[in-house]
Amino acid sequence: MLHQDFWLWNDRTLLLGFLPVGLAYHAGYSIAAAALWALAVIFAWPSGLGGDEHDEGDAP
């Protein structure tokens, strides 16, 4: 529900003189989602799924 910002559809306010408030909201929303996924990767990523380990059959 937060992603669909129907309350900003008709708001013509500009942030910093050029950025529509709806676009700024979505930029902030995207940054927050990226930060949440970064935390998920840092704290919830299984240790056996890293890309640095090679199986014996893999080429170097």
Give the global pTM: 0.65
Report the pLDDT value the prediction gives residue 45, as an integer from 0 to 100: 84
Task: With beta carbons less than 8 A apart as the criterion, state whether 40 and 26 touch.
Answer: no
CA–CA distance, 26 with 19 (Å, rounded to integer): 11
pLDDT, position 42? 92
pLDDT digits (tens, 9 = 90+) for 4-58: 777 788 889 999 999 999 889 899 999 999 999 999 999 988 877 766 655 555 5
- What pLDDT shows up at residue 2? 65
Q: Specify whether the CB–CB gap between 21 and 5 falls below 8 A.
A: no
User: Tokens 């529900």, residue?
Assistant: 1
Instruction: For residue 29, give both structure tokens.
Output: 């929303």
Residue 28 structure tokens: 């902030």
